[in-house]
A = this chain, B = another copy of it.
């Protein structure tokens, strides 16, 4: 799960990132309008935390541009002002939620969770593929109603593949998704094999095989039987 923090106050943005990383999110920070737009154009984020009062421009314009580009990223507007107008305009422009400074990080986290659930998983907090159930809320996985113990990486991997079902995901993408911030050495992607192997083993031991397919030379694909 990837989050973009658009916030110019260094200290605040850092503590947000720290907290959210603790919640297993991958966080990137943009301290200004332009950086944010560049990142948004190229990457897909699960949620964008957008401070309305940016130093180099109006955050609402950024939101406009974002929506004009048909981006599907979730957006939570952050504002220092308690202005109702901003809130209404932001929501009208397509923001998913709104939070006013100062806020508790736990509240922010809860709102993020809700936005992601609504957008990425269409309101549901569980993904169901026949006997395989992924409980996003509880970060747990069940097969035939019996819980399967996965490590954090394994869970992230499964959720990532499952939410991209029937699409081949490159090892580059997996590596990036699993190991937080940008990796600069993409030479040693072998560690992915272990995670894939362990995940496959745990799933099949619980009676759930062949969901994750290796696509020779291309990556991996989650393919539900349906």
**B106 and A182 contacting across the interface, CB-CB below 8 Å:** yes
CB of A140 closer than 8 Å to a CB of B: yes
Write out the residue numbers on chain B whose beta carbons fall within 8 Å of the beta carbon of A149: 213, 215
A38-62 interface code vs B (CB 8 A; 1 in, 0 out): 0000110000000000000000000
Write out the residue numbers on chain B whose beta carbons fall within 8 Å of the beta carbon of A221: 140
**A170 and B23 contacting across the interface, CB-CB below 8 Å:** yes
Chain A: residues with Cβ within 8 Å of the partner, total of 48
CB of A197 closer than 8 Å to a CB of B: no
Known: A138-B166, A155-B218. 8 other contacts (CB 8 A): A15-B185, A18-B187, A24-B218, A105-B182, A135-B166, A139-B215, A142-B166, A152-B217
**B218 and A42 contacting across the interface, CB-CB below 8 Å:** no
CB of A223 closer than 8 Å to a CB of B: yes
A106 to B175 alpha-carbon distance, docked (Å): 11
17 A-B pairs within 8 Å (CB atoms) are namely A15-B184, A15-B187, A19-B172, A19-B186, A22-B186, A24-B218, A43-B107, A106-B173, A106-B176, A138-B167, A139-B215, A140-B168, A149-B213, A151-B216, A152-B217, A152-B218, A155-B218
**A166 and B152 contacting across the interface, CB-CB below 8 Å:** no
**A186 and B15 contacting across the interface, CB-CB below 8 Å:** yes
Write out the residue numbers on chain B whose beta carbons fall within 8 Å of the beta carbon of A110: 42-43
List residues 194-226 of chain A with CB under 8 A from any CB of chain B: 213, 215-218, 221, 223
